[in-house]
Chains A and B, each alone.
Chain A
Amino acid sequence: MKILVCISHVPDTTSKINFVENNTKFDTAGVQFIIGPYDDYALARAIELKETLSATVTVLNVGLAETEPTIRKALAIGADDAIRVNAVPTDSFFVATQIAEHAKGYDLILMGRESIDYNSGVVHSMVGELLGLPSVSPVMKLDLEGTTVKMQREIEGGKESLEATLPLIAGCQEPIAEWKIPNMRGIMSARTKPLTVVDPKAVDAPVNFQKYELPPPKGAVKMISEDNVAELVTLLKNEAKVL
């Protein structure tokens, strides 16, 4: 059993978002980078499966050398080895193409439902299409019974139970597993686990991110006394016009 977990290297969820160079580049000053939170769920589930089945877990990231601390963290959490595709992850199709290049031979390909920087939520489905394999997202529960994969997928206002046969791609989210925190032994062993750096496959970019902008600043909050709740109703009716 071979599991591939694809991880993104993204700004911590508490980061202040800013852009530089005439709003064409993300401002990394003072930003802490982490394993994408959804990818972290995928990784945690992969490690759980590794502990119960005789599985190996490989992590894959598309990124420049700066992402290696993030990859090492995934190794410290329990992945066995890693692949870094040495390229800037310019868009979803580019990333999906790189994953598809390396995903052959894996039984289960897990990743987050979306990366928390671009939020497109499409890479897993693109990889599925590129490889001609079923792809399911967002998966909140995943169990294996032989080569049958039993899953629960979140849908608007509920959940859907699904079954498919390996090999399969899944975009994961909570509560598929609890995030794992690396222990000291994991951190020590991660330093020597194999991390292979490969060149990307060339792709004709279908999209180009030209420029970025921030939403207009929020106006000041209007405070209403707790003894005058009716005033809030009046404001919602006449000022906000939402009631």
Chain B
Amino acid sequence: MAILVFVESADGKIKKTSLEAVAYAHAMGDKVTAIALGTIDKAELTAVGKYGASKVLTVSDERLNQGVIRAYAAVLAQAIQAESADTLVLANSSLGTPVAASVAVKIGASLASNVVGLPDTSSGFVVKQSIYTGKAFAMVEMKNQKKVIGIKKNAVELKEVGGDATVSDFTANLTDADFGTKITATEKATGDILLPEAEIVVSGGRGMKGPEHWGILEDLAKTLGAATGCSKPVSDIGWRPHHEHVGQTGVKVAPQLYIAVGISGAIQHLAGVNSSKYIVVINKDPEAPFFKAADYGIVGDAFTVVPKLTDAIKASK
């Protein structure tokens, strides 16, 4: 059995979440081939070998420099066949998730999304999937011979296991119908740490009293190398852009550390952060429900506590 792993790139670099998908496939114990679409630097491709892929396929069709869902799915389905793979592993993301679904239908595979653990093959093939927005897990038996597995961020530990991968070109047959959607523009915060992938997140709520006070959170975030987020009310009233909204209907984050400032902790917000490893809550209201979901808490005024925290982190470096 061979496993194909779809690796995504951003700004010419293979994404960490995709490397986690490679590590997951490697841990399954079979031969791992990765595939990258669009133009990516060769050194980046060979480096995928470190996480367990022996070979990396590259498809340098310029039309694939943008993530067109059905075209990507068409290439992956063809690569699965060419490699005689029966499993596709990828990282769940705004691109990976719909691509996974499309591929699963094309090849008649069982599909599981948001998988958080390695398969249990003692009786059938069972994976653990995060459900109810992180509030529960399901044990999902994948019954078909072909399988598509979407990995949730931070589900596997990233460790180096190998050397360079060999890189070879793969040619796919694509039709105009595969490019039925045209991407006309992409707006992306460059240079910043992306919220969905950040290891540390600093979020602010209505307790910040206004967008003009975000500077202290940005200073803290910068000191920590963190991304900034916010609660739903904050993005609803336009203090912060929508893509920073963390919660049930916004971005779900899974960082090592989540720092919530002036956020009371409505259950809808908690749904977006409950996959965080550690949670720090700073709130002037000792009764804020968020403290019950936190690992560490400080009752105090954000405007004095946050700058003190930034200074303390700087001092400890």
Contacts and interface: CB of A to CB of B under 8 A. Distances in A.
Given A158-B186, A209-B138, 10 more contacts: A19-B136, A119-B133, A121-B92, A128-B70, A137-B97, A156-B195, A208-B140, A218-B292, A226-B305, A229-B305
Interface string A151-193: 0011111111111110000010111000000000000000000
A29 interface: no
Interface SS of chain B: helix, strand, loop or mixed? mixed
B168 interface: no
Nearest to A140: B242
B137 A160 contact: no
B180 A159 contact: no
B113 A174 contact: no
Interface string A215-227: 1001101111110
B94 interface: yes
A118 B111 CA distance: 13
B95 A163 contact: no
A40 to B, nearest CB: 10
A92 B312 contact: no
B203 interface: no
A229 B299 contact: no
Interface in A99-158: 116-126, 128-130, 132-138, 140, 153-158
B181 A116 contact: no
A201 interface: no
Contacts of A133: 180
Given A117-B132, A119-B132, A156-B10, A164 B181 contact: yes
A202 interface: no
B315 interface: yes
A229 B114 CA distance: 36
Contact of B195 (A118, A120, A157, A230): A157
B76 to A, nearest CB: 12
Interface in B95-118: 95, 97-102, 104-106, 108-114
Contacts of A54: none
Interface string B240-261: 0011000011100000110000
B140 A226 contact: no
A93 B243 CA distance: 29
A53 interface: no
| Size range of the chain A interface in the assembly | 35 or more
Contact of B113 (A116, A121, A214, A232): A121
B101 A233 contact: no
Contact of A135 (B69, B136, B140, B296): B69
Contact of A122 (B101, B194, B295): B101
Nearest to A24: B139
B291 A121 contact: no
B131 A118 contact: yes
A22 interface: no
B218 interface: no
A136 B192 CA distance: 26
B126 A210 contact: yes
A138 B97 CA distance: 10
A30 interface: no
18 contacts: A121-B98, A155-B94, A155-B186, A156-B10, A160-B186, A165-B180, A171-B98, A206-B142, A207-B142, A209-B138, A210-B140, A215-B137, A215-B274, A225-B298, A226-B305, A230-B312, A233-B309, A243-B224
Interface stretch (A42-50, A60-68, A73-81, A234-242): A234-242
Nearest to B313: A233
B296 A162 contact: no
B291 A134 contact: no
Contacts of A13: 248, 267-268, 271
B112 to A, nearest CB: 7
